[in-house]
Structure 1
Amino acid sequence: MEVEEQDKMVDRAINASIVLAAGTFAITKLLTIDMDYWHGWTIYEIVRYAPQHNWTAYEEALKTNPVLAKMMISGVVYSIGDWIAQCYAGKPLFEFDRARMFRSGLTGFALHGSLSHYYYEFCEFLFPFQDWWVVPAKVAFDQTLWTATWNSIYYVVLGFLRFESPANVFIELKATFWPMLTAGWKLWPFAHLITYGVIPVEQRLLWVDCVELIWVMILSTYSNEKSEARHSEAKPELSEESQSAIPKEMTK
């Protein structure tokens, strides 16, 4: 028990260090955007102009390397979303599963940012009209073909990153496909009225990723809960098998 408690303490310390380091880095980068020419500025001026100049830097990144910028945003959002999902499920703030959070963030970085970039451009190509019906049509297309595709990609990729067998991954995908799709209909149609009706195409992923903080909680929960339940059930079975493997002479 002492060894187990020590392991938990080490895990908490590592997780707390990761969170504090990431938070410190992010805040420092945001506040020092004007560091090259803020000499003589007051703290009020630094805080006042930092949001505007960070937005300008973001827009410049979208012009110079839009795919990488969107990949970075999605990676961060999918990591934080999974962390929130774990905390919501009852885990203490600094006892989250680092590997699980990394898998979600990697999937968001490697796939969601880049695929979404091309998807929104394709959507504009597919519906190049300005009529009243275009926004509802885009929302309907998004919430059927695109959402079904992305949910499946996310679920399958996370399954393989957990080294699940293809059979388990696809059986669980089949079982959760419809619940995941319909769960999205409670959130995304309303959000996408803004996405397709108000937000310019180059800014859409940033808005969507803000809403994704909620959606990733749902996706991550659907994707991980059955795997974690199966592993928790397997541990007692392994323990019983190991106990039965001990010779009777050893138990006397």
Structure 2
Amino acid sequence: MAMSVASSICTLLPFSKPHNSVPLFSSQTKKRCRIIISSVTEDRQAASVVSKDKKVLEDSSSPSKDITEVATDTDILTGRAINAAIVLGFGAFAVTKLLTIDHDYWHGWTLYEILKYVPEHNWIAYEQSLKANPVLAKMAISGVVYSIGDWIAQCYEGKPIFEFDRARLFRSGLVGFTLHGSLSHYYYQLCEALFPFQQWWVVPAKVAFDQTVWSAIWNTIYFVVLGLLRFDSLDNIYGELKSTFLPMLTAGWKLWPFAHLITYGVVPVEQRLLWVDCIELIWVTILSTYSNEKSESRKSEEVSETAGSSTPSQNSEE
């Protein structure tokens, strides 16, 4: 092969016409051919070495990719298992507590009798807890409702039922437990003190006050506290609140005025939070979706800006 390459190269080189006394190839020409042949051979050997090195690198990098994929799958399965344990555990606990409210008196009862008295006796137990410690009872209800509402919001956003964000759910439940239950307890008492009348206009006035003053205060508290729990900066929290304040306030007007006609017109003061929390399952879903959409969109914008700013710097370095 090398000789054929040499002969083809040599035919291209300028030679003088052969004479009987002069050899066909001079010493300089032979030397040139040897140099060319050796360089071609070295190039081929170098190319084969490079291809082998690339193959070795690809073979060595493939196990690391497999390990990363396996680790990611393991994390996902672990998260699903933890979330499933949380949901099923709390669900089983709640159902057991509700169904076994009369377990001390079950002796001689039929299954029909047990199920018959479950709603009535649970309601009696709830009223007793309101009398014993009304603030704590309402805090517990709001904490549960806000946790379930955020879970529903995450499922509504497209996440599988057992792949929810535990930290986000915990933050929402914490806000409901520590703030919404206690503040709502005192707010409804304040509302009764502000409007102690029995005329027909009192209920519309309470609804208007609720949907302007109280809604503005509570929406602000909810967004600010959630932002602080996410460790967002005050500027980001203010920006999110500013962009969502009016949309959230007006969105509430599509739901709450109709619900609050029952709240302030039919439901007693001590039972109002339970009724409101039932409607809150819908409202918390909207609140949580608004809050976390703004936060996630802001983070994605920051990532894109960071990537965009790093690209010109890399190009300038090159």
Q: 2:216 aligns to what?
A: 148
Q: Does 1:78 align with 2:146?
A: yes
AA aligned to 2:131 is K
Tell me the distance in 1 between the aligned counterparts of 2:124 and 2:106.
16
Distance 2:301 2:239 in 1: 18
Distance change (3 Å), C-alpha of 1:234 and 1:2: farther
- Counterpart in the other structure of 1:122: 190
Structure 2: how far apart are the matches of 1:38 and 1:96? 39
1:50-94, Cα deviation, whole Å (9 max, x unpaired): 110000000000000000000000000000000000000100100
TM-score normalized by structure 2?
A: 0.74
The alpha-carbon deviation at position 230 of structure 1 amounts to 2.5
Q: Give the Å deviation of 1:237.
A: 6.2
- 2:37 corresponds in structure 1 to none
Q: 1:169 to 1:40 in 2, by over 3 A?
A: same
Letter in 1 for 2:245: F
Deviation for aligned residue 1:229: 2.0
1:224-248 superposed Cα distances (whole Å, 9 cap, x missing partner): 1111123334456667859x88xx9
Structure 1 Cα separation of the partners of residues 247 and 150 of structure 2: 19
Tell me which of 63, 66, 90 is aligned to 1:22: 90
Matches within 5 A, 1:55-204: 55-204=123-272
**In the alignment, structure 1 residue 8 sits paired with structure 2 residue 76:** yes
Partner in structure 2 of residue 225 of structure 1: 293
Structure 1 CA distance, aligned partners of 2:283 and 2:131? 28
Gap regions ≥5 residues in structure 1? none
Which structure's CA Rg is the greater one?
Answer: 2
Residue 277 of structure 2: aligned partner? 209
Q: Distance in 1 between matches of 2:253 and 2:127?
A: 31
TM-score scaled by length of structure 1: 0.93
Distance of 1:196 and 1:20 partners within structure 2 = 36
Deviates more, 1:38-47 or 1:189-198: 38-47
Report 1:29-44 matches (<5 A): 29-44=97-112
How many angstroms apart in 2 are the aligned matches of 1:79 and 1:234?
28
| Displaced runs of 4 or more, over 3 A | 232-242
One-letter amino acid of the structure 1 residue matched with residue 236 of structure 2: N
Count of residue pairs the alignment pairs up: 245
Equivalent-residue separation in structure 2 for 1:234 and 1:17 (angstroms) = 35
Alignment deviations for residues 117-170 of structure 1 (CA, whole Å, 9 cap, x no partner)? 000000000000110000000000000000000000000000000000011001
